Chains A and B, each alone.
Chain A
Amino acid sequence: MVNTLFYFIVFPGFLFTALVGLLVSWIDRKVTARVQWRVGPPILQPVYDFVKLLGKETIVPQGGSRSTFLFAPLFGLAAVTAVSTLLWLVMFSPEKTFLGDLIVVIYLLTIPSISLILGGFASANPLASLGASREMKMILAYELPFILAIFTPVIQAHGLIRLGDLLQYQWANSIFLSSWSGFIAFVVAIICMQAKLALVPFDIPEAETEIIAGPYIEYSGAPLALYKLTRWMMLFVVPMFLVVMFMGGIIFRGWHILWGILKYVLLLVIIILMRNTNPRLRIDQAIKFFWGPMTILAVIGIILAFLGI
């Protein structure tokens, strides 16, 4: 019991993920600044942002549902903490995996978006409702190719569905990325991950110039701080999930630790570069994109996986 609490709250759960999430969000802002030929914020900037938000007044809009408005950020935070704990525990000791943990991770990763939708609709603001409805459409759009891409490694591993078994399969044979089906699925998963993290070109729910912060518009103070923290933790957790599924996770022996961190940094760099070089899509363009080319690509990946390529 004490062990579980320690894993969930300190390492590799809330404290560890939150601190690394703060660091990763700073890396994102710093690299963005460098790409734009400027200096960028100091390393403690996310900490200052978070503490400042905690010290501000929390205003609950009239007409909205008060308890939903205040409790919505907590669901997303709890879900992303649970995913991070699960992933890192499985990476440390793959025999601790249980049947269905892959499905649990996929479900838990949708909860931060759902908590944002809840919060947006509880805000009693038409712009927030618009942003929340766009987030719903985005989830419909990207979840299909994402799940198809995530199940390609399962097919390639001849039906192994537990995360620990997938990791050990990759350590015994080659990583899933080295096959054609794995590569195609990886590309699809990266683009779906960009939509899951709500980053440009898919930051449609929070389109600043259009709907002024979307679902976040009425949030202030501590609930906003929790939403921001959830976003930063997702920036750490979702690429880590992709590293586990496609690149064999992090092996905790000697030089392999550095190699594993570099795998994560590669994904982070791809995310940041995509974020800085693209304009934003419209919601109908995004849906057509995910249900059209991305799904076809994911299906090709699955066919190739069945053929064993």
Chain B
Amino acid sequence: MDFKTKALTKSIWVFHFASASCNNCDIEILDALTPKFDLERFGILLVGSIRHADVMLVTGAVSHKGAVRLKRIYEQAPKPCLVIAVGCCACSMCIFRDSYNMSGPVDRLIPVHAYIPGCPPKPEAMIMGVVKLVKALKKG
């Protein structure tokens, strides 16, 4: 594994995009970034601007208005940028499967590289998801 990929796996800057979620997944993401789980050990930092991000965490089943913005934000992210769908709603729309006002799960709009199911997923589950993503990156 060359040094460029190694640096990408060791320094992951995370951007959080919440679209029409009930905010429980967002609260759990916030919990994962607190000193109790200390994700800075792994080089994970929360950034405010999408242009600084390596990983975009998307929560919530995406509404129609949110879908437009989600696609625009994904295009604004400098590649390589990975997308992680956090929570059942982002992975598969869950109980909102047949609703009229949702634009579908995230992978219908932008490419998703990891799915973290749960309603909401515990911070430990999110960390395991990130670790699996990093291992998959290392393999190629």
Q: A39-B38, A58-B78 are in contact. Are A213 and B11 (CB under 8 A)?
A: no
Cβ contact within 8 Å between B76 and A59: yes
The answer to whether the Cβ of B23 comes within 8 Å of any Cβ in the partner chain is: no
| Residue in A39, A55, A216 whose beta carbon sits within 8 Å of that of B52 in the complex | A216
A185-226, CB < 8 A from B: 208, 212-213, 216-221, 224
Cβ contact within 8 Å between B7 and A55: yes
Cβ contact within 8 Å between B43 and A213: no
The answer to whether the Cβ of A137 comes within 8 Å of any Cβ in the partner chain is: no
Q: Bound complex: CA of A94 vs CA of B21, how far in Å?
A: 64
Q: Bound complex: CA of A213 vs CA of B51, how far in Å?
A: 10
> Which of A41-49, A149-157, A159-167, A243-251 has 4 or more CB atoms under 8 Å from chain B?
A41-49
Q: Bound complex: CA of A2 vs CA of B6, how far in Å?
A: 36
A1-46, CB < 8 A from B: 29, 33, 36-42, 44-45
Cβ contact within 8 Å between A33 and B43: no
The answer to whether the Cβ of A280 comes within 8 Å of any Cβ in the partner chain is: no
The answer to whether the Cβ of B72 comes within 8 Å of any Cβ in the partner chain is: no
The answer to whether the Cβ of A51 comes within 8 Å of any Cβ in the partner chain is: yes
The answer to whether the Cβ of B69 comes within 8 Å of any Cβ in the partner chain is: no
Q: Which residues of chain A have C-beta atoms less than 8 A from B6's C-beta?
A: 48
The answer to whether the Cβ of A288 comes within 8 Å of any Cβ in the partner chain is: no
Q: Bound complex: CA of A82 vs CA of B78, how far in Å?
A: 32
The answer to whether the Cβ of B40 comes within 8 Å of any Cβ in the partner chain is: yes
Cβ contact within 8 Å between A56 and B49: no
Cβ contact within 8 Å between B4 and A220: no
B46-77, CB < 8 A from A: 47-49, 51-52, 54, 76
The answer to whether the Cβ of B8 comes within 8 Å of any Cβ in the partner chain is: yes
Cβ contact within 8 Å between A220 and B52: yes
B5-32, CB < 8 A from A: 6-8, 10-11
| Residue in A37, A52, A213, A217 whose beta carbon sits within 8 Å of that of B54 in the complex | A52
How many Å from the CB of B57 to the closest CB on chain A? 16
The answer to whether the Cβ of B139 comes within 8 Å of any Cβ in the partner chain is: no
Cβ contact within 8 Å between B78 and A56: yes
Chain B interface (Cβ < 8 Å from any Cβ of A): 3-4, 6-8, 10-11, 35, 38, 40-41, 43, 47-49, 51-52, 54, 76, 78-80
A-B contact pairs, 27 of them (CB 8 A): A36-B35, A38-B35, A39-B38, A40-B38, A40-B41, A41-B40, A45-B11, A45-B43, A48-B7, A48-B10, A49-B11, A49-B43, A51-B3, A52-B7, A52-B54, A56-B80, A57-B80, A59-B78, A212-B48, A213-B47, A217-B48, A217-B49, A218-B49, A218-B51, A220-B51, A220-B52, A221-B78
Q: Closest 4 interchain pairs by CB? A: A212-B48, A51-B7, A57-B78, A38-B38
